[in-house]
């Protein structure tokens, strides 16, 4: 492998591993804040115990997320120095705001929340967890705006061979970044909902703290049901934007090769392994692809054959990741809706014993979605401005191999620690 591929694999591994922790942090912070708000408004001690129990799992996840996130920002300087020099004026300013404002608030108030039990009034303590939840999600907003610039660069001028910030307002109102945020945050809350449902189901099957975990289950179920629907709605709007801004990505997501109006969607479809057409293509629904892309059955959808070969993203991986995301995204509201129907007789809920095993599925769906986003943008690191191959640092192959192996070993160790701690305290239950 060359330096480019090794650097891509290293960054992908680091990002994917860090992202194990991010969505649960975003979603669980909000649900813990809701639990504590219920405690403050009702005085019911069960909600206080819930905030402490689920808050402990949140803290473990948060701590490992911070550790794994640090290496990511270093890689912009080590592995992607040409990219940093080219767009650092814009990309760096967004990450700087995320670190100095959102992450600073989050880190400060999380300490207040952890050490403030019985030292602050209940209202002030509840205020602290809401600041943590809001700051966590604001942190996600700034990072997604930075990614949105890579997908749809706006607010810049080319000067001295690099992209420099010209209009900060355009950058922070970038439609692509905001739509990613609208898609990602509901997904994070949905994931947290399934996380709570899965652990609660494990305890309910063992008759542990039934009142406690029945209430927890219902909060998780409500979040999973509401936000799985919002994820699907946000995904459709995000797809409309992709069709306009990144037609090559849309064509790869659908393995759509010929430009046509009233474009069909095929119920049976599989791209060729050589990525030159489809080897399976059957059962078309006329106009459905046009409708999903542009809300118009007669709209024209650009095919891959009208995109220069050197500008096409990898089709097979993008197509399969998109199908996996959509398939799981269809399953989630069905499961959450079924749980809602059995909410008052959970012992009869047919999927209760499967819910602990479903905890990884929202993670897989989110990972598949980000694979579509990032692989579907290739060969561009900044859409239409800079190719990924032009962004990599001039490093020796041995240097990248060494850092890749070392990071992978450290990540494997941290992953084992996380799984051990989460399983230990999840099984232990509330004290």
DSSP 100: I
Residue 104's pLDDT band, with cuts at 50, 70 and 90, is confident
- pTM reported for the whole predicted model: 0.91
3-state secondary structure of 3: helix
Residue 287 in any domain: the answer is no
| Average pLDDT over the chain, rounded to an integer | 90
Q: Please say if the pLDDT value at position 225 is more than 90.
A: yes
Mean pLDDT value of segment 332-355: 90
Mean pLDDT value of segment 47-60: 92
Tens digits of per-residue pLDDT, 242-296?
Answer: 998 999 999 999 999 999 999 999 888 898 877 778 888 888 898 999 999 898 9
3-state secondary structure of 395: coil
Residue 249 in any domain: the answer is yes
3-state secondary structure 138-180: HHHHHHHHHHHHHHCCCCEEEECCEEEECCHHHHHCCHHHHHH
Please state, for a pLDDT cut of 70, what percent of the chain lies above it: 100
Mean pLDDT value of segment 21-26: 89
Mean pLDDT value of segment 49-67: 88
Mean pLDDT value of segment 5-31: 88
Cα distance between residue 325 and residue 200, in whole Å? 25
Candidates 330, 300, 184, 316; CA nearest to 254 is 316
CB 265 within 8 A of CB 292: yes
Q: How far are the Cα atoms of 76, 164, 179, 232 from residue 144, in angstroms, in the given order?
A: 16, 19, 9, 18
The DSSP bridge partners found for residue 268 are 282
Mean pLDDT value of segment 400-417: 86
Question: pLDDT at position 422, please?
Answer: 87
Tens digits of per-residue pLDDT, 143-200?
Answer: 999 999 999 999 889 988 888 888 999 999 999 999 999 999 999 999 999 999 999 9
397 CB-near residues (< 8 Å, 6+ apart): 1, 2, 3, 6
Token look-up 């927890």 returns 216
3-state secondary structure 376-396: CCCCEEECCCEEHHHCCCCCC
DSSP 265: E
Q: List b or e across 340-354, with b for residues whose CB sees 16 or more CB atoms inside 10 angstroms.
A: eeeeeebeebeebee
Residue 346's pLDDT band, with cuts at 50, 70 and 90, is confident
Read off φ and ψ for residue 364, nearest 5 degrees. -60, -40
| Structure tokens belonging to residue 56 | 């402990």
Mean pLDDT value of segment 305-314: 91
Question: pLDDT at position 248, please?
Answer: 93
Q: Please say if the pLDDT value at position 316 is more than 90.
A: yes
Token look-up 């009869």 returns 348
* C-alpha torsion 66→72→73→79, nearest 10: 160
Q: How many CA atoms lie within 13 A of 114 on its CB side?
A: 13
Cα distance between residue 257 and residue 260, in whole Å? 9
Cα distance between residue 144 and residue 336, in whole Å? 27
Q: Please say if the pLDDT value at position 123 is more than 90.
A: yes
How many structural domains compose the chain?
1
* C-alpha torsion 178→182→185→191, nearest 10: -140
Beta strands at 156-159 and 162-165: parallel, antiparallel or unpaired: antiparallel
117 CB-near residues (< 8 Å, 6+ apart): 52, 125
Residue 332's pLDDT band, with cuts at 50, 70 and 90, is very high
Token look-up 């051990």 returns 420
3-state secondary structure of 193: helix
CB 353 within 8 A of CB 202: no
Please state, for a pLDDT cut of 90, what percent of the chain lies above it: 53
Residue 289 in any domain: the answer is no
Q: Which has the higher per-residue pLDDT, 76 or 29?
A: 29
Range of the domain at 390: 3-259+302-428
| Structure tokens belonging to residue 35 | 């639990």
Q: Please say if the pLDDT value at position 72 is more than 80.
A: no
Residue 354's pLDDT band, with cuts at 50, 70 and 90, is very high
Residue 290 in any domain: the answer is no
Residue 294 in any domain: the answer is no
Q: Of the given ranges (92-96, 145-149, 204-208), which has the lowest mean pLDDT?
A: 92-96
Residue 428's pLDDT band, with cuts at 50, 70 and 90, is confident
Residue 223 in any domain: the answer is yes
Token look-up 């800079």 returns 386
Q: Which has the higher per-residue pLDDT, 420 or 73?
A: 420
Q: Please say if the pLDDT value at position 27 is more than 90.
A: yes
Cα distance between residue 147 and residue 238, in whole Å? 14
Beta strands at 156-159 and 265-271: parallel, antiparallel or unpaired: unpaired
CB 221 within 8 A of CB 343: yes
CB 255 within 8 A of CB 268: no
CB 361 within 8 A of CB 328: yes
Token look-up 């809706």 returns 337
Cα distance between residue 178 and residue 157, in whole Å? 21
């Amino acid at each position: 492998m060359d330096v480019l591929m090794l650097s891509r694999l290293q960054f992908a591994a680091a990002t994917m591993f860090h992202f194990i922790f991010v969505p649960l942090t975003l979603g669980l912070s909000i649900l813990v804040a809701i639990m504590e708000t219920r405690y403050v408004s009702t005085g019911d001690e069960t909600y206080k115990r819930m905030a402490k129990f689920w808050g402990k799992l949140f803290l473990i996840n948060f701590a490992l997320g911070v550790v794994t996130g640090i290496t990511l920002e270093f890689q912009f300087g080590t592995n992607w120095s040409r990219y940093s020099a080219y767009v650092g004026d814009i990309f760096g300013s967004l990450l700087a705001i995320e670190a100095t404002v959102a992450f600073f608030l989050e880190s400060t108030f999380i300490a207040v929340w952890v050490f403030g039990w019985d030292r602050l009034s209940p209202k002030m303590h509840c205020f602290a967890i809401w600041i943590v939840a809001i700051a966590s999600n604001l942190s996600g907003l700034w990072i997604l705006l930075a990614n949105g610039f890579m997908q749809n660069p706006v607010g810049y001028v080319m000067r001295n061979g690099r992209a420099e910030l010209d209009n900060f307002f355009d950058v922070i109102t970038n439609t692509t970044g905001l739509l990613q945020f609208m898609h990602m945050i509901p997904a994070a809350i949905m994931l947290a909902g399934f996380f709570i449902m899965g652990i609660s189901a494990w305890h309910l099957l063992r008759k542990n703290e039934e009142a406690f975990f029945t209430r927890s289950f219902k909060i998780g179920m409500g979040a999973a049901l509401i936000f799985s629907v919002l994820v699907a709605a946000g995904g459709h709007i995000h797809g409309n934007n992709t069709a306009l801004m990144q037609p090559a990505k849309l064509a790869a997501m659908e393995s759509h090769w010929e430009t046509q109006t009233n474009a069909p969607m095929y119920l049976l479809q599989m791209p060729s392994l050589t990525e030159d057409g489809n080897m399976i293509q059957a059962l078309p629904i006329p106009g459905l692809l046009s409708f999903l892309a542009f809300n118009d059955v007669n709209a024209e959808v650009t095919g891959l054959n009208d995109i220069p070969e050197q500008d096409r993203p990898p089709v097979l991986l993008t197509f399969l990741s998109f199908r996996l995301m959509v398939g799981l995204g269809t399953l989630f509201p069905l499961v959450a809706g079924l749980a809602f129907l059995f909410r008052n007789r959970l012992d009869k809920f047919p999927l209760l014993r499967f819910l602990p095993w479903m905890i990884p599925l929202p993670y897989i769906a989110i990972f598949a979605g980000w694979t579509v986003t990032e692989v579907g943008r290739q060969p561009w690191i900044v859409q239409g401005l800079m190719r990924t191959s032009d962004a990599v640092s001039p490093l020796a192959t041995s240097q990248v191999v060494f850092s890749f192996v070392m990071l992978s070993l450290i990540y494997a160790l941290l992953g084992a620690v996380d799984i051990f701690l989460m399983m230990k305290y999840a099984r232990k239950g509330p004290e």
